[in-house]
Amino acid sequence: MDKFWRWVTNEAGEPAVRTLYLEGYIAESSWFDDDVTPKQFKSELYGSGSDTDDIIVKIHSPGGDCFAAARIYNMLKEYPGKISVHVDGLAASAASVIAMAGDEVCVSPVSVIMIHNPAMLIAGEVADLQVGINLLSEVKESIINAYHDKTGLSRIKIAHMMDAETWMSAHKAIELRFADRILYEALPVDMADQGFIFDQLTVTNTLLKKLPGIKARMTELTVNKGVPEPLDSKQPNDFQETLEQPANEVDQVPVAQLEKRLNLIKNWR
């Protein structure tokens, strides 16, 4: 039996948490006509305890046999407990199909998901090659089912992504809905209920967008107040004071606005 998975149970928690590790190639030997290995996998999936306990599935795999991936996908989808998939490094090809079975798909910030067309070696005459082509076309359609069910993307878009062999970073996977959450990234406590994340860069950019308006306001105030004309009878010090006074008054408007926004940045740190 080709066993490419392993289980780890953390009994420190209550209840105990079981973790399924899928590492390396998915099934060196195809599950196309294998009845023994799938039964063994399913037996270990349900275990000897409760069949409703939650399970974490950690994936780091370049892919493998699409028929094995399909069987594992089905077993995970049918499992009554919650399945949380964690893509630790790579979920490529057939491994990405398995990842779609999770009730929640979490990706490491440094992980990658890759999807592409199925491939196989075909030998024989023209009729044999055509059979292989037809098989690959149908297998592709079955894989698209898993991606479409998870992401809601159109089948045509997914097919084009597979044709192009698409690699997705963690954030791109979230954007395209192949994943739900990035691991190790938590919402700020005071903002968690609102579902938004504010950071210093966002606030600073908002402030910078305000600056053109502030500058326009300064210009308007300068025009309205006018610049005093120099008087020959005034002493140099008095003339300098006359020029400086309006400028100081104008400066008070943008400085107050900038100070208010800088306080926002300080409060959000």
- For residue 178, what pLDDT is reported? 97
Is residue 21 pLDDT above 50, yes or no?
Answer: yes
- For residue 188, what pLDDT is reported? 42
pLDDT bucket at 170, cuts 50 / 70 / 90: very high
Mean pLDDT along residues 62-67:
92
CB under 8 A, 24+ apart: contacts of 140-143: 142/70, 143/66, 143/97, 143/115, 143/118
Tens-place pLDDT, residues 213-260 = 666 666 666 666 555 555 454 455 554 554 455 544 444 545 566 666
**CA 93 to CA 69: how far, in whole Å?**
9
**CA 81 to CA 154: how far, in whole Å?**
29
Cα 223 from chain centroid?
Answer: 51
Question: Which of 11-20, 202-211, 227-236, 253-262 shows the lowest mean pLDDT across its residues?
Answer: 227-236
First to last CA, the chain: 55
**CA 77 to CA 75: how far, in whole Å?**
5
Mean pLDDT along residues 137-141:
96
Please, what's the b/e burial string for 128-165 (b: 16 or more CB within 10 A of its CB; e: otherwise)?
Answer: eeeeeeeebeebbeebbbbbbebbebeeeebbebbeee
> pTM surpassing 0.75?
no
Question: Which of 20-29, 110-119, 205-214 shows the lowest mean pLDDT across its residues?
Answer: 205-214
Share of the chain above pLDDT 70, in %: 64
- For residue 31, what pLDDT is reported? 76
